[in-house]
Structure 1
Amino acid sequence: MRRVKQIFGYFSLSEWLLWIVSTILIVVGFAVFDGRNGMALAASLVGACSLIFCAKANPIGQALMVVFSIMYGVLSYQKAYYGEMITYLGMTLPIAVMSFVSWVRHPFRGNRSQVAVGKLRRSEPFLMALITMAVTVGFYFILRALNTANLLPSTISVATSLIAAYLTIRRSPYYALGYAANDLVLIWLWALAVAEDRGYVSVLICFVIFFFNDLYGFLSWKKIAKKQRVQLS
């Protein structure tokens, strides 16, 4: 009984509401607009779970992101979004693994369920921008050669994903804003897909939900960072 109370008490009321509402919207969207692509439903639900745990700075969130990356890579391949497929399977997936290791290796005061919030060095934003520009330009030509559908948003998604991934490894609260920016690009991308096939509405709804979850994640990490600073002072 105590264990059950601990599990339910781990998340705040607002986090439970966010998680439950996200799940309901994903399932309803799937039932109304799709009902066929079970992978889309499963990926969306795993992704929503991942973001809630990530918002708590819990390494479980990164473990779930590994699973989501694989599922999303398959969905992207089905829609010929090769940029998304390559980005998630070739970048987000391995970075999620590295982030999981990083988060596990840097617990806050021995608390395995909360990572110690990191801080960027002054030179890192410049380095991150330089790497992002170089990789994005390279990916543009690769994606064009692969006849990637909706090339522009697919290319922009590479940039936002890379920024978010870098900040995630560095355990920066701003990783969530990076993913929120990426969510906006993916909303654009999958809206174009929905215009051709309504079966992808559930995926579109998924990223709208992810956007609000990531915004909450940023606010949550800022609070966590503040609490950690107080405890360390």
Structure 2
Amino acid sequence: MFKDWTLFEKLWLAVFTAVNLSLFFAWDDTLLGLISSIAGMFCVVLVAKGKISNYYFGMIQASTYAYISYTYGLYGEAMLNALFYFPVQFIGIYMWKRNKIRSKDSVVGEDVVVKRMTAKAWGVTLTAMIAATVLYAILLKTIGGRSVELDSATNVLSITAQILMLYRFAEQWLMWIAVNVLSIIMWLTVLISTGGNDYTILVMWTAFLINSIYGYINWVKMAKKQEVL
């Protein structure tokens, strides 16, 4: 599994795991939060490397994170992970396997073909996202959710990013960067207001943010290299 990983990727995953374990014992975090955080980190690192195996870790992370979000009243996050992210993992496995790089000269670690978005695609995507965010915030407020504006924005951005990921667009990472920033703000607010102790989740989102920046850089490089294959 780790044969084509760079030293940075190995160290990054090792440091993140060590930090989570330390927080688990120091702050008496929940075991479910620890499992969700570590599974999520494996998932996003593997996505950044273009590995189909990311979806197997995604199944674990989506199911555990959905339950944790529900217990904190983040119903948008809970529904997103249980009703969208979890089933989408199976779709992702199917779609990525159909678009694997077949060339013997392909760069090591690049399992799938990477694409780039056009200006027209960006316009349509952003318009749809703004409309969906407003409508979903209204729905979340109606059912009594917490931090509905942030919850709605992160959900719409997440769904958009996931769809772009299924179709292997490098621009998915720009969406993930926005998702991660908003999620850090949302979880910090909720944990402080409720007195919750799942700080491994907050660390997970911070790690996701760093990884999404790395993922964007890596996928842009992958797209450029694939153009000459």
Q: TM-score, normalised by structure 1?
A: 0.88
State the match for 1:99 in structure 2: 92
| Pairing partner for 2:8 from 9, 14, 19 | 14
Unaligned 5+ segments in structure 1 are 1-6
State the match for 1:130 in structure 2: 127
Does structure 1 conserve the Cα–Cα contact (< 8 Å) formed by 2:116 and 2:171? no
State the match for 1:28 in structure 2: 22
Unaligned 5+ segments in structure 2 are none
State the match for 2:60 in structure 1: 67
Which one is further off, 109-118 or 77-86? Answer: 109-118
State the match for 2:185 in structure 1: 188
Does structure 2 conserve the Cα–Cα contact (< 8 Å) formed by 1:117 and 1:172? yes
Does structure 2 conserve the Cα–Cα contact (< 8 Å) formed by 1:19 and 1:48? yes
State the match for 2:211 in structure 1: 213
Counterpart CA distance in 2 for 1:177 and 1:18 is: 20
Query: Are 2:74 and 1:77 equivalent residues in the alignment?
Result: no
Which one is further off, 85-94 or 147-156? Answer: 85-94
SS of 1:115 mapped into structure 2:
coil
Which one is further off, 61-70 or 14-23? Answer: 61-70
| Pairing partner for 1:225 from 220, 223, 226 | 223
Does structure 2 conserve the Cα–Cα contact (< 8 Å) formed by 1:34 and 1:202? no
| Pairing partner for 2:164 from 158, 163, 167 | 167
Counterpart CA distance in 1 for 2:113 and 2:85 is: 21
Once the two structures are aligned, what percentage of the paired residues are identical? 22
What does the per-residue CA deviation read over 1:141-169, in whole Å, with 9 as the maximum and x for residues that have no partner? 22111110122211211222122122212
State the match for 1:118 in structure 2: 115
What does the per-residue CA deviation read over 1:186-212, in whole Å, with 9 as the maximum and x for residues that have no partner? 101110122132412111111111111
Q: Cα offset for 1:66?
A: 2.6
Which one is further off, 108-117 or 38-47? Answer: 108-117
How many residue pairs match? The answer is 224
- Root-mean-square deviation (CA, aligned residues, Å) is 1.9
State the match for 2:140 in structure 1: 143
Q: Cα offset for 1:116?
A: 0.6
Where in structure 1 do 4 or more consecutive aligned residues deviate above 6 Å? none
State the match for 1:179 in structure 2: 176
Q: TM-score, normalised by structure 2?
A: 0.90
SS of 2:111 mapped into structure 1:
strand
